[in-house]
Amino acid sequence: MLTARACNLSLVDNDGIPDWIELLPAGPAIQGSDGRAWTLPDPTALLTAFTARNKPLVIDWEHSSEHRAPQGLDAPAAGWIDQLEARHGAIWGHVDWTPKAAAQIAKKEYRFLSPVFTYAKADSRIIELISAGLTNQPNLTLTALNREESPMPVPAALCQALNLPETADEALVVARVQTLNLALNAAPALDKFIPRPDYDAALSRASNAEAKLAEIEQAHLSQQIETALNQALKAGQICPATVDFYRAGCRQEGGLQAFQDFLKTAPPVLGAKPELDGHKPPTALNRAAFEALSPVAQAAALKTGARITD
C-alpha cells in the first residue's frame, strides 16, 4: 500500500468560502495532470473506511502533516473534514475551517486543495483518504508532492535503533535489516563460539573434576592429620583426651602446619613417659614457643626444669 498526494482541485467559487469541497473526482479512472492514474471503482468503500476511522481528516498547509510532523515540527490544521459523501461517483467532504484558513481562502491566498490517499500498488486502487493540503502549485509542477510512490517517512526511533541517520529512507532501512539477518543466520566462528550443549558438558566435567580433586585433598589432609596425632600420642606430647581438640584445630586453614610446629618443641605431657631416645629434655625454651604450648605442655616443660628465655 502506497501514499499519493495529487489531484489539485479548485477551492474558490463564486459563492465564497465552501463548506463542502470535492476531494476526489468521479472514477472509476482518475487521471492526474502529471500523467499518473488511479482507480476508484467503489466510492462507498472510502466512506466506510472514513466511518471506521472515527475521527476527522486534517487539512493542513502544503502537506505539513506528511513533511513536518514526522520530524517533530509544527503542522497546524487549516480545517477538519468531519463528513464524507459520494456524489455521482466523486468524493466530497464537509469542512470546518479554522479562522486563519478561511481568511486566506477568502483573500484567494490559497486556491487549491491536494488530497492525500493510500492506494494498492498492484492495481492503483484508492483505498483510504488520509488528509488534504492547501496549496497553490498546479498539479503538473508539484514534483515534490506528486511522485509515483511517496513512502511514509521512516520513524526516527527505528533509525536510531538501527544506528542509521534520521534522514534514512526505506531502502537504507531494508538494507540494514537484511545485513543484520545475514549476521544472525550466519554460522558462528568455532574459534570464538561453541554450541551451548558442548559448553554445558564441559562446565559439568570441570565441576565434577574440581569436586573430585577437593575430595582427594581432604582425604590426604585427613591422613596427614591422623599421622601427626598418632606420632604425638606415641611421643607423649598430647594425651588421648585432647586428640579431638587437636584434630579439629588441624582441620582449620593452616592448622596442621601450626600443630606440626608445636610438636617440634613440645615436651611430653604430665604423666606421659618421655621417649627421648637417650637425649636430654630441653633445658631452655623461647618464651614465644613456650606461650604457644597448651597449658598441659607448659606444665610438662616446667616439670622437666626447662628454663624460659626471652
Predicted local confidence at residue 10, as pLDDT: 57
User: What are 135's three cell numbers?
Assistant: 496549496
Give the residue among 71, 36, 58, 150 at the shortest CA–CA distance from 113: 58
Q: What residue type is 264 in one-letter code?
A: K
Domain ranges of the chain: 2-163, 215-309
pLDDT band at residue 100, thresholds of 50, 70 and 90?
Answer: very high
pTM of the model: 0.42
User: Is the CB of residue 34 less than 8 Å from the CB of residue 6?
Assistant: yes
Given a contact cutoff of 8 angstroms between Cβ atoms, the answer to whether 224 and 242 are in contact is no
* Per-residue model confidence as pLDDT tens digits over 232-284: 888 888 888 888 888 888 888 888 898 888 888 877 764 545 444 445 555 66
Higher pLDDT, 58 or 33: 58
pLDDT tens, position by position, 84-96: 999 888 889 999 9
Q: How far is CA 266 from CA 63, 90, 274, 310, in A?
A: 101, 116, 11, 17
Model confidence pLDDT, tens digit, residues 108-154: 888 888 888 888 888 888 888 888 888 876 442 222 222 334 455 67
Q: Residue 43 class from Cβ within 10 Å (0-12 exposed, 13-18 middle, 19+ buried)?
A: buried
pLDDT at 15: 56
Residue 162 to residues 131, 155, 167, 173, 202, Cα–Cα distance (Å): 30, 11, 12, 8, 36
pLDDT in tens, 55-82: 999 999 888 887 788 787 888 988 999 9
294-298-303-309 Cα dihedral, nearest 10 degrees: 160
Retrieve residue 303's grid coordinates: 616439670
**What Cα–Cα distance (Å) separates residue 109 from each residue in 21, 75, 105, 259, 305?**
17, 18, 6, 106, 125
Q: In the 8-state DSSP scheme, what is residue 305?
A: T
Question: CA nearest 19: which of 112, 91, 102?
Answer: 102
Is the model's pLDDT at 176 over the cut of 90?
Answer: no
- Across the chain, mean pLDDT equals 78
Residue 14 reports pLDDT greater than 60 = no
Cell numbers for 128: 483510504
